[in-house]
């Protein structure tokens, strides 16, 4: 297979973790007889420094012409003083909107080797935890109308959803649940918000088309609590942009380290945007101690969802598991009795096991 992959290293540790992910993907291509072309572009603060804006039309066009896009991280204190409309994070929001990727897949699994890093009691995580949080990505309060009074004493952010926006995300959730353990939980705040009532009504109507999937409904505050009390009850969770942002970060903490967590953002076609869920970590940038595994595992999701290469994706995930089995850890997941390695060495170790 030939594939064109746009890379967006971004800011601070972004270039470091991207380098290791590209190294692993290059090894996959060599081993399995594929040809991957990597085309690098600036995003976020790096783009502001180079072009005066966080996402250029040229970068967006390149992303939309690619087979898949792999991103590192954006933002950081260097750009705290820039106007709100050109902050690095604006580039990421515009990229998601411009690529029309509306479904954010955030898997939450506890690697057995890292069970000790999970902050929950051992009896809570005794049952296997394998959750897929499906977060709507291009609507909700992040993209609604904004208002600030002239005297700066009042502010409004609009939360808005259409039936079509809810339906397209819910269909992905139902289909995904049907291929997993057959359970879907829709998370909202329908006891208070009209927007959530529309969300729930849409999911209820759609559920009739998927009788093989067991559907439940949960208010977001209870869902946040249940993720702590009994996370094993969840299979696929679907929710809006704001609630999904919060719940998926909570699930990442359960898994033990933000550095381990990949994500995929998908639209109607196969092209997707893949990125680790962590930030740019300016305090550790340039020190060769960042954890590249979240980015490497995002590369595995890229192979699976955009290129249809399941065997190759599984090979990366197996290699990561073997490296953890062998006791190698970056500082964020280090514990007594394991061997501490840097970002580059961790990338080399995974590459060697492909």
Residues known to be catalytic: 142, 189, 221, 245, 249
Longest dimension (CA), the chain: 63
CA separation for the pair 346, 354 (Å, rounded): 13
Token reading at 223: 């869902």
Nearest alpha carbon to residue 52 among 16, 14, 22, 82: 82
CB atoms within 10 A of CB 155: 9
| Dihedral angle, C-alpha 133, 59, 78, 248, nearest 10 ° | 0
**Residue pointed to by tokens 């009896």:** 123
Q: How far apart are CA 130 and CA 176, in angstroms?
A: 13
Instruction: Kindly give, in sequence order, each residue whose CB lies less than 8 Å from that of residue 193, ignoring residues fewer than 6 positions away.
Output: 159
* Residue 195, phi then psi, degrees to nearest 5: -60, -40
> E strands, 229-354, where?
236-239, 262-266, 272-276, 328-329, 339-340
Query: Could you identify the residue written with the tokens 């580039």?
Result: 91
Helix axis angle for 293-305 and 343-352, nearest 10°, is 40
Compute the 3-state secondary structure of the chain and give helix, strand, coil in percent, each to the nearest 5: 45, 20, 35
């Amino acid at each position: 297979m030939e594939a064109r992959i746009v890379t967006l290293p971004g800011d601070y540790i972004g270039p470091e973790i991207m380098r290791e992910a590209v190294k692993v993907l290059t090894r996959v291509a060599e081993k399995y007889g594929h040809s991957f072309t990597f085309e690098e572009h600036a995003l976020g603060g790096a783009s502001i420094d180079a072009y005066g804006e966080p996402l250029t039309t040229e970068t967006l066009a390149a992303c939309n012409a690619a087979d898949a896009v792999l991103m590192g991280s954006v933002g950081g204190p260097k750009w705290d003083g820039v106007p709100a409309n050109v902050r690095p994070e604006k580039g990421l929001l515009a990229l998601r909107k411009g690529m029309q990727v509306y479904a954010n897949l955030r898997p939450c699994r506890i690697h057995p080797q890292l069970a000790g890093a999970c902050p929950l009691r051992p009896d809570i995580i005794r049952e296997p935890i394998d959750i897929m949080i499906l977060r709507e990505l291009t609507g909700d309060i992040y993209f609604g109308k904004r208002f600030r009074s002239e005297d700066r004493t009042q502010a409004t952010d609009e939360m808005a959803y259409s039936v079509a926006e809810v339906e397209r995300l819910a269909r992905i959730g139902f289909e995904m649940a049907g291929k997993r353990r057959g359970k879907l939980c829709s998370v909202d705040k329908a006891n208070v918000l009209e927007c959530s009532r529309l969300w729930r009504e849409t999911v209820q109507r759609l559920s009739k088309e998927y009788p093989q999937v067991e559907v439940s409904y949960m208010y977001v505050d209870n869902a946040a609590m249940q993720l702590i009390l009994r996370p094993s009850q969840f299979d696929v969770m679907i929710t809006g942009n704001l609630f999904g942002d919060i719940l998926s970060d909570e699930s990442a903490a359960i898994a033990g380290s933000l550095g381990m967590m990949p994500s995929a953002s998908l639209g109607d076609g196969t092209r997707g945007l893949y990125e680790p869920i962590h930030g740019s970590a300016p305090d550790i940038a340039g020190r060769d101690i960042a954890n590249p595994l979240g980015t490497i595992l995002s590369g595995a999701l890229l192979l699976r969802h955009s290129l249809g290469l399941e065997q190759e994706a599984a090979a990366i995930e197996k290699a990561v598991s073997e490296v953890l089995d062998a006791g190698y850890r970056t500082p964020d997941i280090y514990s007594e009795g394991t061997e501490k390695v840097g970002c580059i060495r961790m990338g080399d170790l995974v590459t060697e096991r492909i």
